Structure 1
């Protein structure tokens, strides 16, 4: 018996099931940045702590993303945990074709030449250690080398297709 990977309607149903289930999963919102010929960045909800020793994190990025060519070659990337007041910043970095680093975005060049966004809850500069194929995405694993975890405020969340804040 030969296994098949083309499940047609069953695959489509599973894709819709995954999307529907994860619409109900609240996730923190981050912006990933890197420096190429120009700075690039994108909004991510797939940020995960992987290990404490060494300090590793991961995130996913689509290979069709405009940021992928730079992320694919970057030695260092920036990871920014957004505050609830930064919905506009999250939307800017999620929007296709936007000049993400133009005003009103506030940023500066940080350690290892990585673009660092101002006013975030926390930022990290990380050295990329692996890019793992995962369907039409890559899972990037990176080791934390510097940063600042002391921003003020509460985290921005993504839930049910929109940006949200924690409620008391």
Structure 2
């Protein structure tokens, strides 16, 4: 590799380099939910991506070592929830290993297709899983949007430099 004038010398790809670079990438925060055999499961995701408008498809990544993976790996439907800046604690709860994510103060109800739907989010979708693509120690889940509600109010929650934050004016 040759250095570009004005830039520092590039580092070879390592786990540390990869994480350091993506800490600088601000990402919207979502919670993905599903109905598992033992009850509802969910996790915080910053990997949510719009894939196609026709048909309406989205994707998200999930580690195969995640406690939610067994349920998501078998689920026919998932819920996708876009969080508002007022929901930092909810994002942290769904990101925390071993947490009872659906216990109070989390407020939720059964939505279309039996998918757990969280209250108070900016927007939510119910989706049918159409594919699970291996990607290293993760799977990229592809899902077709079936229904939803974009009617929540507020500003989006972002994840940047290892913490949750809102937009700044």
- Give the TM bin, normalised by the shorter chain: over 0.9
For the residues of structure 1 that align with 2:144 and 2:20, how far apart are their CA atoms? 32
**Match for residue 163 of structure 2?**
162
Gaps of 5+ in 2: 1-10
Q: CA RMSD in A?
A: 1.1
Number of matched pairs: 158
Deviations 1:68-111 (A, max 9, x none): 00000000000000000000000000000000000000000000
Displacement of 1:14 after TM fit? 2.3
- Shift in Å, 1:150: 1.1
1:1-168 paired onto structure 2 within 5 Å: 13-37=13-37, 38-168=39-169
d(CA) in 2 for partners of 1:18 and 1:151?
A: 34
Which structure 1 residue ranges, 4+ long, deviate > 6 Å from structure 2?
none
TM-score (norm. length: structure 1): 0.92
Shift of 1:16: 1.4
Deviation at 1:18, TM superposition (A): 1.1
